[in-house]
């Protein structure tokens, strides 16, 4: 079987090997050939994990430029801090490598466009780490909406309670490095809401603040720990997202879509069973558990080997930034922000 030789940039991070497993585990056409992290302890831990779980012996680097320049790789997974995504992705693409970039895509539309341009001029695959997009329920809800099951969508919302960010993401507390809490976290939510609304966001209103986490894990926080974000879409739909990072341990998320003929909602409280309620009184509880195209990592390697676009395209990743970027400005400047201001 032909395999994609992959180097991981930011290998010591939470996403790559601190969830009790390793990315690309179980992907038969992937070979993790190199690991890179500029923190020796994290690199050592990553090497131990990948050697144990994947049975590989990756080359180790503390400088991603050196890893890219050594040759022998087909692709890289960019999992470094948010503020380095553009720099890392463009360097790899210009070296002729395919790139899977972790979310958020970038910290501005300009940076996102520079990554997209690099992929296009080098003819490389560019995948985005939007894992929620790979869960079947979100796409199936889009199919229910497209089939007219709840009529014309009027409102779409999400509420999430969760613990604060982990200590090892020390850069996350500086909005200049992370983009802020909404950019860092809620790009996921707007990515799946884009599937259901199918329209461009226009005007964004947001309010938030720091209620509890002034010095989380000993770091002084410059990012909010609670917020409400309301936005308009060009087709008239109203969106709303609420976030709260003040829980000690409980993680709770719920979504809802209201239409002219009914509604759809689901919550982590009951295993995210999709509840369809029509105005006629008809109801249905639907369970969608499958992962689409395997998952992010399987889809990416398949895209590289087969030459097709990944499920989440670069333009989708860019679009997922629109409301979060505008919301960060809205909270900072205490005003409504037109998405067109971001261009």
Rounded to whole angstroms, how far apart are CA atoms 172 and 82?
Answer: 8
Mean of pLDDT values over 222-231: 96
The C-alpha R_g of the chain, in whole angstroms, comes to: 20
pLDDT tens per residue, range 177-221 = 999 999 999 999 999 999 999 999 999 999 999 988 888 888 889
- The alpha-helical segments, DSSP class H, found in the chain are 14-17, 40-53, 64-69, 85-94, 109-122, 136-146, 175-178, 181-197, 296-306, 314-319, 322-333
4-131+294-311: CATH number:
3.40.50.720
pTM score: 0.95
Give the pLDDT of residue 15.
Answer: 62
CATH superfamily assigned to domain 133-291+321-342: Dihydrodipicolinate Reductase; domain 2 (3.30.360.10)
Kindly report the backbone phi and psi dihedral angles of residue 51, in degrees, each rounded to the nearest multiple of 5, phi listed first: -65, -40
Give the pLDDT of residue 17.
Answer: 64
pLDDT tens per residue, range 16-73 = 765 557 899 999 999 999 999 999 998 998 999 899 989 999 999 999 999 999 979 9
What residues contact residue 15 under an 8 Å CB cut-off, 6+ apart? 23, 79, 102, 129
pLDDT above 90 covers a percentage of the chain that reads 85
Structural domain spans, the chain = 4-131+294-311, 133-291+321-342
pLDDT tens per residue, range 85-124 = 999 999 999 999 999 999 999 999 999 999 999 999 999 9
Residue 64: strand pairing partners = none
DSSP, residue by residue, 36-94:
E-SSHHHHHHHHHHHHHHT----EEES-HHHHHHT---SEEEE-S-GGGHHHHHHHHHH
Give the pLDDT of residue 20.
Answer: 58
């Amino acid at each position: 079987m032909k395999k994609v030789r992959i180097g991981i940039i930011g290998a010591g991070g939470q996403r790559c090997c601190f969830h009790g497993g390793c990315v690309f585990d179980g992907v038969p056409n992937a070979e993790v050939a190199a690991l890179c992290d500029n923190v020796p302890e994290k690199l050592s831990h990553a090497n131990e994990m990948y050697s144990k779980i994947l049975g590989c012996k990756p080359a180790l680097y503390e400088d991603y430029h050196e890893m890219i320049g050594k040759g022998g790789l087909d692709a890289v997974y960019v999992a470094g801090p948010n503020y380095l995504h553009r720099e890392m992705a463009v360097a790899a693409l210009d070296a002729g490598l395919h790139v899977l970039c972790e979310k958020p895509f970038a910290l501005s539309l300009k940076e996102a466009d520079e990554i997209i341009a690099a992929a296009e001029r080098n003819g490389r695959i560019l995948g985005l780490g939007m894992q929620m997009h790979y869960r079947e329920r979100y796409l199936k809800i889009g199919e229910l909406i497209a089939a007219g099951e709840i009529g014309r969508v009027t409102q779409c919302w999400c509420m999430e309670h969760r613990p604060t960010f982990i200590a090892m993401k020390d850069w996350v507390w500086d909005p200049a490095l992370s983009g802020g809490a909404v950019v860092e976290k809620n790009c996921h939510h707007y990515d799946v809401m884009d599937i259901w609304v199918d329209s461009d966001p226009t005007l964004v209103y947001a309010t938030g603040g720091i209620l509890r986490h002034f010095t989380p894990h000993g770091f002084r926080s410059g990012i909010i720990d609670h917020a409400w974000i309301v936005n308009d879409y060009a087709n008239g739909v109203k969106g709303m997202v609420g976030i709260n990072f003040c829980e000690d341990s409980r993680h709770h998320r719920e979504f809802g879509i209201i239409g002219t003929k009914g509604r759809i909602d689901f919550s982590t409280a009951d295993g995210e069973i999709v509840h369809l309620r029509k105005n006629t009184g008809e109801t249905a509880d639907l369970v969608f558990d499958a992962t689409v195209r395997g998952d992010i990592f399987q889809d990416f390697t398949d895209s590289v080997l087969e030459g097709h676009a990944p499920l989440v395209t670069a333009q989708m990743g860019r679009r997922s930034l629109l409301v979060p970027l505008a919301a960060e400005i809205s909270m900072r400047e205490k005003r409504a922000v037109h998405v067109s201001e971001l261009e």
